[in-house]
Structure formats: C-alpha cells, structure tokens
Structure 1
C-alpha cells in the first residue's frame, strides 16, 4: 500500500503536462506567439498555461524581453528536465506505434561486441534488409553482456557466454581459430614475418585485455607465441614497436593500413583474406575447441516470426 501511496503523491505533485508542453514550446522558440502557432492555440492560452505552471512551481520561468522571452535560471533547469522527458515520451510513442500499431513494423534488438558488429554484421546486414523489408533492427554493442543499461532488453545476443541471461535459449555456433594476419604489401616489405621468430621480432599489433574481463580467455601475442613454443620476452629490447589497444576494430584497420601484424580471429577476418586484403604470413594457428560463440534468443519469443526469420538468416550466413 505504501508504494501506491508514494506513487500517487508523486503524480499529485506533477504539474499539468499541457502546461509543460506550452512551456517547452515557448522556451524553444523564445516566443509565446511562436509557441501558440506551433501548438495551434491562442497566445492567451500559452500565457495562461505558463502562468499556472509558474504558480505551481512558485517561481518565474521566463523574463519578458521586448517581444521575446528568455528563460530564468529556474526556467533553464526545468526546461532541461522537461525536454529530456518529452523526448523519451516521443520515442516510446514512436516505438509503440511502430511495433503495436495497425501498420506495425517489427523491430528486433540485437546485442553483440563492437568488433562483431563492425567486422561481421556490417558487411552482411544489407542482405537481411533486402530479404526482410518489414523488420527493423536496433543493434547494441557492448563488451559487458552481464550488465546492460536499464531499459535494454535484447531479443538476440551473439556472445561467448553459454548462459547470458535467464529466459534465453542458447545455440552453439563456432569456436575460435586465431592466426596472424597482415597485408600482402606489408609481408613483401617484411619477408622475415614468414617465420615465427621473425614474426615475434617484428611490428606486433596486440589486443589488450583492458575492459574485457568477462571474456573467459584472452589471447594476445604472448599467449599465441607461447602455444608456438616462443617467448614474447625474447623480442629485442630495441626492436620493432609493440602496439597495445583494446579496440579490435582499430587493430584490424591498422593491419589493413600496413602498420604491422595482428592476430586474426577467423570469423572476423576470413572475408578480408578471401578478398586478398589480408594474408596469413605463417600457417600456424591456435584453435580454442573448448570455448564457443553462441546465438541466444528470448525463449518466450522463440516462435516469433521476425525472430525466426533473423535466426534463419543468421545461421545461413554462418554456413555460407
């Protein structure tokens, strides 16, 4: 009962939404006349609503300057809060009309890592939109799948967590294959990179673990070379650069710009290799057979038409 009482008290303390709407229009246009034209009411109606709002708040919200008006300090504070609230309401109304209205279009919310979004999704999404013109996608990227911002409830996760959240069904996709990649021109200029020792001593572009604490395993050059029985610490102390960054998309772009050798995750760089933009300087690779990527989707929506179509398209893309 207490919760209901508190909620009712909050509503009783709220000013009239009609008055707030008039206030926002007047603040945006710095004119009661323009606000009246925008809302298709009389200037007297605007003045009356704002006067009632000022009485409710107990302070002036505008200073009258000739034919225009200017927000007072209190008015500025209230305008910032009111404008954000109206934007949120307008966005919610748009989503409801789109998803539940008479001519509803379905919207699916997807969640994946920034690297998967940039290197895998971006090149394939046009085919999804071509095949499904009545489905819109909201794509959310994160490295932290276990803690999402309030109000974000993805329909689909593409993640390395076998159980990302209660109420989701997980389908096993693939495991990681990791190998060095560089451009053909970089390899031509640095033929020593064709050997493991030459690779170790050359310009290495490394994926930092910073901000990736939720990933079960982290593979960097130290780990990859250790699997090949080489020690990263044996690099010459005055040798080539060792560049560290936690943004994998940037790392791949640097490799594409002839700036060194990066570790390539096969599902992300294989198309670039197929196009000839990247090559594998050595044949060795690291295969993580015990860890997988997963497609997780809402169990309650498993038979939803839009979700079924996305799932079918996504798995077909993997097979191709």
Structure 2
C-alpha cells in the first residue's frame, strides 16, 4: 500500500508565482501600467494579482499616489526577498536552457582578485575570437570546499592537488613587490627606500578566509625576506590598514592611500599603464608558489575546453 505524503503547509501557503512576478514588476517600475507592459499582460491583470497577494498577506504592499506606486515597509521587505528569488530561478533555468542549446558554456573557477584585476580586462578578446562559447566565471577563496553542484571545467589556482580527475599545467611563479600611485610617490619621495616604505601607510592583505591558500605574504614577511627584520611588526605600526579583499587593497593604492604589496600577475598591467608605480626595485619571487591551470581530465581533448586553455596560457605568457 502506497503511503500518502502529508500536506506540505509551507508550499500550500506560498503565494502564486504569477502573483509574485506581478508584484516584483510593479515594485520595479513603480507603476502598474508599465509593469503590465513589461510582462505583456493587461494593467487589470497586474492590479488583480497585487490585490489577491495583499489579501493573502493581510497587509498593503503599495501606497498609491497618482500614477506612481510606492512600497510600504512590508512591501519593501517582500520585494528584497522576491526579487532575489525570481532572479535565482531565472538564472537556473537559463543555465539549463543553455545546456540544451548549440552554444557551449565552460565554467572557469579562480580567485576574486584574479577575476577582477586580471580576467575582466581580457575576456572581451576571448569572446571576440570565440563567439560560439560562453564562459561562466566562479570565484572563491575556498577551492577545496566548493558548493555542491559546482563542477568547473578549468581552475586557475595555486592549489595543485585540487581534486582527483584534473590535470595541471604550471603557469608561473608569483612575484611580489611594493606599489603605490604616482601621486602618492610624488608626495612621499622617502618611499624610494625600504625604510621610507616601512614608515609610510602600509596597505596589507590579511589571511582571513584564505586558509587554503599557501605562501601568504604580508608586509612583515616581505620585509623579513628582504633581510629587513624590524623590531616593530607592521601590524603595530600607527599607519597600517589590512583587509582580506585584495581588490580593495589595490583600489586604495590606486586612490593614493598608501603602499600595497603588488602580486605581479595582478598589478603588472596597472604598472605598465602608469596607474601604479614601483617605488623601489626590490621584489620577492616565491619559488615555492606556483599558479596552475587545472583542467578536468574528461575535458582534456574537448575542442572548446582546449581553446579556452590555450587562450589562458597565451595570456599568461
């Protein structure tokens, strides 16, 4: 005898998808007529859906003022959740739809800094040369603990022993050196010595949330490896800022707020363009820290994956 499922009250009590879609459109455009035009329905249909939703919730979601509508506090709270939920549903269905289309989608996983400071500047050239390919970029600092369902085709990471079923290609050793804005150097000519940098405003990258990444280098480590071991730690200095967001650290350097440690592969373009400068010639090559291109073994001979792999290697070269 088949056991019957108990009624799911959370699903039963949930408003209809059509009503939520009408509500989000009305909240977005602040006008029922414009919402109706956006959804290709009548204004009466939008009004009816909103009225039924308000009756279901037992509260007003909009304040009507002439042709414009404004969200009530209850409406604003619902809009924040509903807009994000509908967007997630749309993105999931689009991913499924693209899997069934002729256009190939590859998933590339890298760090947020790599994505923002390196990849975003170059992807247009890949898409121009490969109009038949889409690339889904996943960023993380936790390469060993990706969310279920995330299965990248290619990684760019310094963690070489990532997971079984992937093949790795070494790309480059990391090189680290101080950088600042030209204006900051002009205002602080003492930065042309290591002592001057040590006494300036130091912008540092902290290891919070980066435990899986090896060879973390902060200012104390950098100075020590330059045979400069000052008794006072950088973190005890009166002019010291730290964040685990490397993009923020670099932006503060660009804005003339201090001196940052620049990872060459991430800041090289900005140095070449003159947006950042190297106040001293000293640098640190991390001989034990390699960045790798890691490709799913089952995709090793896939033509689309080979194109993305070859493009990445060429860009790093």
Specify the TM-score bucket, using the shorter chain as the normaliser.
0.7 to 0.9
CA contact (8 A) 1:120 1:267 kept: yes
How far did residue 38 of structure 1 move? Answer: 8.0
How far did residue 264 of structure 1 move? Answer: 0.6
Q: Distance in 1 between matches of 2:134 and 2:265?
A: 25
1:18-33 pair list within 5 angstroms: none
- In the alignment, what sits opposite 1:94? 94
Q: Distance in 2 between matches of 1:213 and 1:200?
A: 26
Aligned counterpart in structure 1 of residue 283 of structure 2, from 282, 285, 288: 285
Call closer, same or farther: CA 1:232–1:256 in 2, change over 3 Å.
Answer: farther
Structure 2 unaligned segments of length 5 or more: list them: 27-35, 46-54, 61-79
Secondary structure of the structure 2 residue equivalent to 1:123 = coil
How far did residue 224 of structure 1 move? Answer: 0.4
Alpha-carbon RMSD? 3.9
Aligned counterpart in structure 1 of residue 127 of structure 2, from 103, 116, 129: 129
Matched, 1:118 2:110: no
Q: Distance in 2 between matches of 1:92 and 1:83?
A: 14
- In the alignment, what sits opposite 1:179? 177
CA contact (8 A) 1:116 1:268 kept: yes
Secondary structure of the structure 2 residue equivalent to 1:279 = coil
Deviation readout 1:144-185 (Å, 9 max, x if unpaired)? 101111221111111111121221111111111111111222
Matched, 1:221 2:223: no
Q: Distance in 1 between matches of 2:198 and 2:216?
A: 18
- In the alignment, what sits opposite 1:276? 274
Secondary structure of the structure 2 residue equivalent to 1:223 = helix
CA contact (8 A) 1:202 1:239 kept: no
Q: Distance in 1 between matches of 2:215 and 2:269?
A: 24
- In the alignment, what sits opposite 2:310? 312
Q: Distance in 2 between matches of 1:165 and 1:241?
A: 41
Call closer, same or farther: CA 1:314–1:236 in 2, change over 3 Å.
Answer: closer
CA contact (8 A) 1:20 1:82 kept: no
Q: Distance in 1 between matches of 2:282 and 2:126?
A: 34
- In the alignment, what sits opposite 1:146? 144
Deviates more, 1:181-190 or 1:263-272: 181-190
Q: Distance in 2 between matches of 1:311 and 1:236?
A: 40
Matched, 1:299 2:297: yes
Structure 1 unaligned segments of length 5 or more: list them: 44-59, 66-79
- In the alignment, what sits opposite 1:256? 254
How far did residue 95 of structure 1 move? Answer: 2.4
Deviation readout 1:117-139 (Å, 9 max, x if unpaired)? 11110111110111111111111
TM-score, normalised by the number of residues in structure 2: 0.74
Number of residue pairs the alignment of both structures matches: 279
Secondary structure of the structure 2 residue equivalent to 1:258 = coil
Secondary structure of the structure 1 residue equivalent to 2:142 = coil
**Greater radius of gyration (CA):** 1
CA contact (8 A) 1:195 1:282 kept: yes
Call closer, same or farther: CA 1:12–1:82 in 2, change over 3 Å.
Answer: farther
Call closer, same or farther: CA 1:15–1:23 in 2, change over 3 Å.
Answer: farther
